[in-house]
A and B are shown apart, each in its own frame.
Chain A
Amino acid sequence: MTLRPGTRVRTSSADPDHHTRLPRYLRGQVGEIVYAGREWPLPDDVARGVAAPRAEVVYTVRFAAAGLWGTGRHTVLADLWASYLEQADGQDDGEDGEDGEDGEDGEDGEDGEDGEDGEDGEDGEDDGDDGDDGEDAEDDGPQEER
């Protein structure tokens, strides 16, 4: 099932002892789906050399900075794999049947909003980042076309 834009999600609070692309500061946090991307191999599997890594939908999820750090009026966008997320408050609103691969009417408007937030690197973080964006520039980020 693909989560629709606008769906509130809670991120996993697990602290895995392997590589993951769910940043520590986004664990156990509630955010909102902004965009449902395509499937991409799960980094947790790829980094461990799993022969057939799971492929999952990668979502762009928006978080309020104040909710993460107690301050700041901006939002933070992160690309997160499906297994990092669960629906936050049981939003079984009957829309599940509509989640086709594309063509969702609301998306264009959502994209416009994203631009205002400062849609930058793959991680979409405006500041405070440890520089992971540099790595993304040359490898296999989910948004990179091949």
Chain B
Amino acid sequence: MRRRPGWVSVVRVSRVHDVGGQTGFGPVPEIPGSQDSPPFHADWEARVYALAGALGRRGLFSGDELRDTIESLPPERYLSASYYECWLEALEILVARKGVA
């Protein structure tokens, strides 16, 4: 199928990000770190968070690169994974891509 200029943004599939602001996902049940709720749901989440911070501060990747990698996960995975599962999968990709693994 030929694509004409101007049709590109219609034909192309949007990246699966910005779930925020979309309807159909229901209310946010709990915001970690707010008031009575703990900052993490499990210890491994805290480790993932710390690992991302440590690697980022060592210059392995920028925050924008991390976001980009998370958004680039397969849509079906992105939408079914939890927040820090997405982080972990992105870290695994970045570490391999940068030759650190």
Where the two chains meet, the residues of A that have a C-beta atom closer than 8 Å to any C-beta of B are 14-15, 17-19, 23-26, 43, 46-49, 68-69, 125, 127-132, 134-136, 138-141
Contacts and interface: CB of A to CB of B under 8 A. Distances in A.
A17 B15 contact: yes
- Indicate the member of A15, A125, A134 with the most B CB atoms within 10 Å: A134
Interface in B1-46: 9, 12, 14-15, 17-23, 27-28, 32
Majority SS of interface residues in chain A?
Answer: loop
A19 B64 contact: yes
Nearest to A127: B28
Contacts of B23: 69
B52 interface: yes
B75 interface: no
Contact of B56 (A26, A139, A141): A139
A136 B53 CA distance: 11
A134 B15 CA distance: 20
A25 B12 contact: no
A48 B65 CA distance: 7
Given A24-B14, A134-B83, A138-B56, A46 B65 contact: yes
Contact of A125 (B20, B49, B68, B71): B20
Nearest to A138: B53
Contacts of A127: 27-28
B83 A131 contact: yes
Centre residue among A46, A130, A140 by max chain B CB count within 10 A = A130
B49 to A, nearest CB: 7
Contact of B66 (A24, A69, A128, A139): A139
9 contacts: A17-B12, A25-B20, A25-B21, A68-B21, A129-B20, A130-B17, A134-B32, A138-B52, A141-B63
A135 B18 contact: no
